[in-house]
Amino acid sequence: MKAPDVNTSPYHRFLGLTLNRFEEGLAEVGLPFRPEFLRADGSDWIHGGILSALIDIAGDYAVWSKFGVGVPTIDLRIDYLRPARAGNLSAVGRVVKAGRTVSIADIELRDEVLELVAVGRGLYASPKV
Amino acid sequence: MKAPDVNTSPYHRFLGLTLNRFEEGLAEVGLPFRPEFLRADGSDWIHGGILSALIDIAGDYAVWSKFGVGVPTIDLRIDYLRPARAGNLSAVGRVVKAGRTVSIADIELRDEVLELVAVGRGLYASPKV
Amino acid sequence: MKAPDVNTSPYHRFLGLTLNRFEEGLAEVGLPFRPEFLRADGSDWIHGGILSALIDIAGDYAVWSKFGVGVPTIDLRIDYLRPARAGNLSAVGRVVKAGRTVSIADIELRDEVLELVAVGRGLYASPKV
Amino acid sequence: MKAPDVNTSPYHRFLGLTLNRFEEGLAEVGLPFRPEFLRADGSDWIHGGILSALIDIAGDYAVWSKFGVGVPTIDLRIDYLRPARAGNLSAVGRVVKAGRTVSIADIELRDEVLELVAVGRGLYASPKV
């Protein structure tokens, strides 16, 4: 399956997202650190809104790897395990189910020292065949 | 309760977030449209990662209105109801429970024509007393 | 819309479930108390597994009221707000979205004194047309 | 860690639950089939309310294995992957995080032929120290 081009999305360009792995049932996205991602002046914690976006995108690309097209997110659960400190982030999405109507992906988000900082589970609309 | 200053967060400045209402148990945040928020070139749909961030933030400020301080998000569920088209967004968070250990907020996100585009439910760590 | 017969389900009979209201977009189920529902000997708290079942069922019947048939649950989030003490329970499901592919319901569960003890949000597969 | 006695819960006795494994960070509960668990007369699918209860309980026992006491569920997400057909069920809960305030467990539920039928993610209140 040909990897999608992350740079066709204005929001992905805005964030500076990279697609680091793209295999059947798995996708890994990376996010090089920018100070604009911090949650508060004087803090070195990254904002939760950055983490949830990365998790959603990694799950979406994982499902894409099964069907060859982008899929709308139906719902998403995110659990924040610990603060993500300033640094590069990476999120790995894995497909749990690729169904006829809906698909599910599990996502793990790690910080620069590979500590697990958040996990997600997303439901995506499978493409109509 | 004094309203928090949204501009003390680098990520909020990056997005251009505004805090439009701040009452006990309720907060409304607004997001003026920027083309960088779109999900794909040639599309007029806003990226889901913008929606989830707004939802998280509105819930967080709603809980803030109960305790007077910002609170970490523990987990978050987002349901996307329909595409959010290019335009200004607003999210209203309402506290469902302000507990000793954890607090819950429900959040509704509307697009510029006030259509409900996504709903969220977030769990936040109540401040230690 | 004709109300469904709760007694056609072995598990509903096992619990002793009743369907108290059934209107377009809304369903209320009731559960008369039985000591078998308690979580621990010597406790007067009802087991969470009873609460989650009631929440799922109320949401399912709410969506049924839109389509005229039972629908499979795709996913479900439950937030427990406070212990449900021994006594009759009732759960009200309301449809948030009745879509072509999926439908969403919000559910509120109250104990005998009408205290809100848990809330749920469920996603259901809309019937194929 | 001494395994908890599942038979001290009226609801666990009502279901006929067994605790099959109990190790640090992991618990497996089993549920021998009874026809009362079916979702509809003439169907051989097990009711979703049985599955959600088993998932909640397996996650709870997994967290118990870390702290030595039962813990209240704060919230729970369940994803139903496919129908669970009549037969014995088993659910394995694994602790993802055992925190000072809250703990998270992931749960997998399998049917008699070991097919994965549902997954869950639960948040539990860690015991006060």
Q: Complex ipTM, two decimals?
A: 0.95
- Supply the pTM of this predicted model: 0.96
Nearest chain A alpha carbon to B15? A36
Q: pLDDT (tens digit, 9 = 90+) per residue, D33-55?
A: 999 999 999 999 999 999 999 99
B18 phi/psi in degrees, rounded to 5: -125, 150
pLDDT at C97: 97
Closest to D46 (Cα-Cα) out of C14, A100, C61: C14
Contact A57 B36 (CB under 8 A): no
Which residues of chain D neighbour C86 with C-beta distances below 8 Å?
none
B26: closest CA of chain C, how far (Å): 19
- Mind listing the domains of chain B with CATH numbers? 6-125 (3.10.129.10)
Q: In whole angstroms, what is the distance from residue D23 CA to residue D17 CA?
A: 18
Q: Is the dihedral of CA A103, C124, D81, A101 positive or negative?
A: negative
Q: Hey, which residues 69-108 in chain B have their CB within 8 Å of chain D?
A: 74-75, 77, 101-102
Over chain A, what is the mean pLDDT?
96
Indicate which of C79, C107, C109, C121 best probes the interface with B, i.e. most B CBs within 10 Å of its own CB. C79
| 8-state DSSP, A40 | S
pLDDT at D69: 94
A43: closest CA of chain C, how far (Å): 31
Q: In whole angstroms, what is the distance from residue C108 CA to residue A59 CA?
A: 30
3-state secondary structure chain C: CCCCCHHHCHHHHHHCCEEEEEECCEEEEEECCCHHHECCCCCCEECHHHHHHHHHHHHHHHHHHHHCCCCCEEEEEEEECCCCECCCEEEEEEEEEECCCEEEEEEEEECCCCCEEEEEEEEEECCCC
Contact B125 D101 (CB under 8 A): yes
Over chain D, what is the mean pLDDT?
96
pLDDT at D11: 96
Q: What mean pLDDT is predicted for residues A2-26?
A: 95
Residue D128 has pLDDT above 90, yes or no: no
Residue D71's Cα: distance from chain center in Å? 13
Neighbouring residues of B103: CB distance < 8 A, sequence distance ≥ 6: B63, B66, B67, B71, B95, B97, B123, B124, B125, B126
Give me the percent of chain D exceeding a pLDDT of 90. Answer: 97
Residue D129 has pLDDT above 80, yes or no: no
| Residue B125 forms contact with D (CB below 8 Å) | yes
C-beta of residue A80 within 8 angstroms of C-beta of residue A14: no
pLDDT at A91: 98
Q: Residues, chain D, total?
A: 129
Q: What mean pLDDT is predicted for residues A37-55?
A: 96
Q: Give one DSSP letter per residue of B28-40, joined into a string.
A: EEEE---GGGBSS
| 8-state DSSP, B85 | B
Neighbouring residues of C10: CB distance < 8 A, sequence distance ≥ 6: D35, D36, D37, D38, D39, D40, D41, D47
Per-residue pLDDT band at D101 (split at 50, 70, 90) = very high
pLDDT at B2: 87
Count of CB contacts below 8 A, A vs C? 17
pLDDT at C129: 72
User: For residues D97-122, b (16+ Cβ closer than 10 Å) or e, as one string?
Assistant: bbeeebbbbbbbbbbeeeeebbbbbb
Neighbouring residues of C25: CB distance < 8 A, sequence distance ≥ 6: C62, C65, C66, C94, C95, C98
pLDDT tens-digit profile, chain B (129 residues): 789 999 999 999 999 999 999 999 999 999 999 999 999 999 999 999 999 999 999 999 999 999 999 999 999 999 999 999 999 999 999 999 999 999 999 999 999 999 999 999 999 999 987
Sequence-ordered strand ranges (E) for A13-72 = 18-23, 26-31
Q: pLDDT (tens digit, 9 = 90+) per residue, A51-87?
A: 999 999 999 999 999 999 999 999 999 999 999 999 9
C-beta of residue B121 within 8 angstroms of C-beta of residue B107: yes
Q: pLDDT (tens digit, 9 = 90+) per residue, C82-106?
A: 999 999 999 999 999 999 999 999 9
pLDDT at D111: 97
C-beta of residue D85 within 8 angstroms of C-beta of residue A62: no
D8: closest CA of chain A, how far (Å): 32
The C-alpha angle A19, A23, A25, rounded to 5 degrees, equals: 110
Contact B11 A70 (CB under 8 A): no
Q: pLDDT (tens digit, 9 = 90+) per residue, C41-56?
A: 999 999 999 999 999 9
Which residues of chain D neighbour C79 with C-beta distances below 8 Å?
74-75
Per-residue pLDDT band at C78 (split at 50, 70, 90) = very high
